[in-house]
């Protein structure tokens, strides 16, 4: 693992790191914020999964999460959204290829060699974090935005017992019935029969999540029809799932929206992480 930068931040340290990934076959960059408490022992972990076109840097610099995490004494992890590099396949569209890994493992050429973001996020990066940082991996929660909200919800439900709480900002909730999902799943997985359990609404209709959920979506979100919020809300209600879906009047899909409600989300996760 190579340290790219480390900066003092709210009494802790915001670092950016790079390592060779066996899952993706590329170098991967990620960021970790450690609060001051990490100097004295392992601290709980909150993951933030970013959305389409983003890298580790977007949420790290725009979400305003570090101050609230420092106040609660929890670490933040910001992974990248896809493999990158000259030899990594890409597409001219912003919603496929580099920057659009969808937190799944591709099985179709040309994506299958490098696009293994499920394995990377669920297995390889957690193992590296546990080895290299003072993190209490028995206390993890997860959040994300848009495509990253999709990843947060699916990881939380597909890995029971891993995360104590899950939240999301304007998540893609029903990708198998959305323009943001059907296109990418067809490219990465081929025939629809191979798409697997990577739809948050389908997972909610199944076992649901063994903890609390918080979702915020803006009423003026310019991508609202692509998100499938209504389908997920219906699945939550039918399941009697513990949680809240809040429609925030006048807010859109941007980081202005995310930063406005970040304090709520960090406090929500801190309650679960420290309980």
pLDDT in tens, 67-114: 999 999 999 999 999 999 999 999 999 999 999 999 999 999 999 999
Looking at residues 254-267, what average pLDDT do you find?
98
Dihedral angle of Cα 255, 261, 263, 264, to the nearest 10 degrees: -150
Question: pTM of whole model > 0.95?
Answer: yes
Catalytically annotated residue among 50, 146, 165, 178: 146
Catalytically annotated residue among 56, 114, 198, 253: 253
Other beta carbons less than 10 A from residue 191's beta carbon: 9
Token pair recorded at residue 62: 């725009």
Q: What is the mean pLDDT of the chain?
A: 97
Catalytically annotated residue among 105, 145, 221, 269: 221
Q: Is 219 left (phi over 0), alpha (psi -120 to 50) or beta?
A: alpha
What are the DSSP calls for 169-183, one per residue?
Answer: ES----GGGSHHHHH
Separation CA 224–CA 204 (nearest Å):
20
Looking at residues 197-224, what average pLDDT do you find?
96
Q: Is 253 tagged catalytic?
A: yes
Q: Is 50 tagged catalytic?
A: no
Q: Is 221 tagged catalytic?
A: yes
Q: Is 53 left (phi over 0), alpha (psi -120 to 50) or beta?
A: left
């Amino acid at each position: 693992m190579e340290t790219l930068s480390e900066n003092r931040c709210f009494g802790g340290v915001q670092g950016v790191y790079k390592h060779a990934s066996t899952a993706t076959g590329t170098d991967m960059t990620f960021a970790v914020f450690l609060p001051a408490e990490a100097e004295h022992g392992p601290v709980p972990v909150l993951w933030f999964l970013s959305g389409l076109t983003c890298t580790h840097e977007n949420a790290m610099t725009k979400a305003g999460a570090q101050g609230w995490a420092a106040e609660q004494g929890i670490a933040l992890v910001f992974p990248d959204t896809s493999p990158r590099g000259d030899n990594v396949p890409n597409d001219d569209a912003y919603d496929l290829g580099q920057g659009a890994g969808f937190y799944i493992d591709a099985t179709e050429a040309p994506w299958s060699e490098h696009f293994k973001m499920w394995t990377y996020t669920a297995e390889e990066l957690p193992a590296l974090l546990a080895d290299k940082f003072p993190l209490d991996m028995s206390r993890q929660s997860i959040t994300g935005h848009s495509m990253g909200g999709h990843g947060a919800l699916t990881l939380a439900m597909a890995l029971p017992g891993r995360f104590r709480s899950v939240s999301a900002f304007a998540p893609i909730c029903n990708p198998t019935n959305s323009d943001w999902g059907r296109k990418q799943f067809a490219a990465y997985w081929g025939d629809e029969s191979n798409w697997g359990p990577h739809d948050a609404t389908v997972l909610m209709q199944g076992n649901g999540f063994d903890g609390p959920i918080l979702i915020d979506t803006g009423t003026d979100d310019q991508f609202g029809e692509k998100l499938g919020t209504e389908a997920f809300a219906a699945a939550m209600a039918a399941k009697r799932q513990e949680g809240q879906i809040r429609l925030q009047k006048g807010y859109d899909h941007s980081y202005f929206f995310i930063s406005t409600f970040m304090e709520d989300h960090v406090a929500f996760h801190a309650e679960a992480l420290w309980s």
